[in-house]
Structure 1
Amino acid sequence: MKSILFAIFGGFFGILLARITKSPEVFFWTVPIGILLGYYFANPLWRFTKSIFKILKNTNFKQAK
């Protein structure tokens, strides 16, 4: 689910970049690249942040005196 949201966000970023530069060529290469980057970075990024939170939750700060 999160990968789909990241892909949609990447697509909107490509559309925004194409609107700023006002050229249709930019639209045709930024939207697919944005969708692919969003889709491939969503899962590892989410797993990475979840593992960090798990490590922080399991760490006992009172013992580390």
Structure 2
Amino acid sequence: MAAWWARAIRMYPSGFRDAGEDVRTTLLAALFATRQAEITDALVELLVLWSTRSTPVPSVGWSGS
């Protein structure tokens, strides 16, 4: 996966267009899978930080009064 990602990250859009359909699909899948993992990791970190806050977080619909 890392090799496909490394290849894809260096390509210009025209390089994707010029590549065969199988190669293009594989390269885009590598990019999307890697990015999905990065986004998931960031969201988990955010959730952990949010869940360990010392101040309570108001629930949905909280009016503040």
Instruction: Tell me the TM-score normalised to structure 2 length.
Output: 0.42
Select the structure that is richer in helix. 1
Give the TM-score, by structure 1 length: 0.42
